[in-house]
Structure 1
């Protein structure tokens, strides 16, 4: 990790997890390091990866109502991240975990980016005024203050056009990836996949999203297709979510029946078998899509800079901030790191050699 100049990525992921407090974002209990590894102790999600759960479904897809439920929970999580000033940048089924309750939890924030200090969220009032039963509409984009970054990161089939063009990108990339996710949940494939990476990128830049109509293909409503089309607009300034962030997405007719305040209390379409205890459910070996980080690939072997010491400084520990220095709380007992094995049923420890990527 040091040789690949990914110290800041590891620290950023730890910071996001430690800062976040949301039901649809995985909880970090403790972070620490050993001589050769970094560890993140997180809430154990017995349902495993959403990606693998999809692989077990007929056609590797879900019904439209089920897709609406999961899309709503992902939207709520993205809204929170944007309010906190974070751009996720790597939304995909492999980075979504299923809690034992069946609700989703976003994970894997090593490609996420924190924006410069932005403004405070503002209330949006429609011309007709808000009804008594409606939730307040919040402009989340103002929290990121139109922050742009030029990193070439993401997952091949999910990368937004502006990332490929190298003209910089904003939080609008997260809404593009949401559109790809909804499409994949419904059809079992992504809309722009080509025979090679270059073909995929060319399709993303040039092709309009199409919907299979051959016999046996899922029957999708026009309002759902409308959501996908608006999320997959190639011009980021016209894309759904680019004006007022998550509020744009939440008010789309596709989510008209969604009770946003009650999402956490609704029964999810897929609930892991409670009888399996802590056994792995959706952790089987299946080929996954890989995240792309062209920027990091170009700096391999380059000494650290940006106010960080070089690896040659033996007295400097670049991961000192990674150690949370906190005790893990479970029930009424304070557990120190020496007793970490006792919380194994409730936490998932992630480790990686310092020379590699932190991977669950």
Structure 2
């Protein structure tokens, strides 16, 4: 057995030679639970630190037996108990273990030791989308490029809503670039599950714009999967928080469409539309100020359809916001996406292709701002430290796997048939 001086991957920060707890199970990607595989912390070599948060760190690691690279999230049980964040970790594992979508990061293994939880995920060589934006000329994209990435985010949000999840923390820092250049959503610890999950329905008279062909498959109403669900948690990231979250009136999946509007604006301008000198100023602008469209840093005048979709996504009235009626179908049918075929996105060449063999570096911080996520749970919950076995569910069978495979088949048959 190697010691820490012989190999930097072992012992420190939870990637140790300690064996996993009895009864741990390993989950493959795409919601298919495979037979038990003997994966432990010392099955991997630590290469470098990719990022860190308040309860753990993310490392680039290599599996010894295959030489395959992964992103390993190592979470401290002690810190999660101290900060009452065990439920968030379980929620994230639940989503990742049940997800089956090309624009959501893949979970390959999850296991635990006495002191840590481990999530072994697909390594996205391009790193954070935020870093990629910062490296672009003028730190932003032109409209056609922004449209492409917005469309991929819409597809990922559509899938999450179909599964009954509200994402709640969309931002460039939570979007990763795959080696192919396509996006992958990550960091689901602030996501919220609707229970019971509503049944999706077919949208009548959807895609009626003249640019849609008559043989376009019927669209799915993803709003019906979460439409009955409302939560009062104060979560999100300062410059991306929706008005209803600030007001404390409760929120629905409509918050995800607000954050899409903020993301689209930031892709176009290199800054968010309501950024103030401090947090109170930012919140005040979110509640009171209408979005403005000066010339972009590329001196590009945005199209009328681009301005329209941003305005509709950033409607301060959540009930009139684009996406509030039938979810992603509302958004996808907007003229801004007229030139795109959503079913062929996965086969299209993305605007940004990461250089080969480039290792991502730790996250950048927003200049003069705060990219940390709020996590204030206003609903009455038992403290993690009060539970008899707070980590007992981490390796349990995922009850959402049925919904994942069932709803994925529905979604792919209507929208992503050509991806299979």
Give the TM-score of the pair, scaled to structure 1: 0.82
Question: Is the contact between residue 30 and residue 324 of structure 1 (CA under 8 Å) also seen in structure 2?
Answer: no
- Aligned equivalent of 2:336, options 247, 254, 270: 254
SS at match of 1:116: coil
Q: 310, 316, 322: which is aligned to 2:386?
A: 310
1:322 aligned partner: 394
CA contact (8 A) 1:48 1:98 kept: yes
| Counterpart contact for 2:138–2:298, Cα < 8 Å | no
How far apart in 1 are the matches of 2:396 and 2:203?
A: 38
**Residue 83 (structure 1) aligns with:** 162
Corresponding residue for residue 136 of structure 1: 218
Partner of 1:148: 230
- Distance across 2 between alignment mates of 1:182 and 1:176: 10
Specify the alignment match of 1:200 in structure 2. 282
Residue 133 of structure 2 corresponds to 54
Query: Residue 146 of structure 2 aligns with which residue?
Result: 67
Mean Cα deviation higher: 159-168 or 57-66: 57-66
Cα shift at 1:127: 8.3
Q: Distance in 1 between matches of 2:302 and 2:206?
A: 32
- The within-5 A match list for 1:256-335 is 256-274=338-356, 276=357, 279-281=358-360, 283-288=361-366, 289-295=371-377, 305=382, 310=386, 316-323=388-395
Q: Quick check: 1:122–1:140 contact (8 Å CA) kept in 2?
A: yes
Q: Between the two structures, name the one with larger relative contact order (CA 8 Å, sep ≥ 6).
A: 1
Judge conservation of contact 2:207–2:333 (CA < 8 Å) in 1.
no
Q: Name the CA distance, whole Å, in 1 between partners of 2:207 and 2:296.
A: 43
Quick check: 286-295 or 71-80, which moved more? 286-295
1:24 matched to which residue of 2? 103
| Distance change >3 Å, CA 100–CA 124, structure 1 → 2 | same
- Cα distance, 1:324 vs. partner? 6.2
Normalised by the size of structure 2, how large is the TM-score? 0.70
Q: How many Å apart are 1:120 and its aligned residue?
A: 1.4
- Partners of 1:245 and 1:50 lie apart in 2 by 24
Deviation at 1:165, TM superposition (A): 0.2
Asked if the contact 1:117/1:145 (under 8 Å) is kept, the reply is: no
How many residues end up aligned between the 2 structures? 312
For residue 235 of structure 1, the aligned residue among 309, 317, 321 is 317
Equivalent in the alignment of 1:344: none
Whether contact under 8 Å (1:186, 1:218) holds in the other structure is: no
Would the aligned equivalents of 1:121 and 1:138 in 2 still touch at CA under 8 Å?
yes
Q: Could you say what secondary structure the match of 1:97 adopts?
A: strand
Aligned partners of 2:161 and 2:222 also within 8 Å: yes
| Residues 216/259 of structure 1: CA separation in 2 closer, same or farther (3 Å cut) | closer
Aligned to 1:218: 300
CA distance in 1, matches of 2:352, 2:396: 34
1:73 touches 1:263 (CA, 8 Å); kept in 2? yes
Tell me the equivalent position of 2:263: 181
Distance 1:30 1:9 in 2: 18
Report the CA distance shift for 1:243/1:127 in structure 2 as closer, same or farther (over 3 A).
closer
Q: Which position in structure 1 is the counterpart of 2:194?
A: 115
Match of 1:330 in 2: none
Distance 1:128 1:29 in 2: 37
Structure 2 Cα separation of the partners of residues 184 and 127 of structure 1: 29
Alpha-carbon deviations, 1:240-283, whole Å to 9, x = none?
00000000000000001110111111111111112x2xx414x2
Q: In structure 2, what is the Cα distance between the partners aligned to 1:96 and 1:244?
A: 24
Counterpart contact for 2:232–2:377, Cα < 8 Å: no
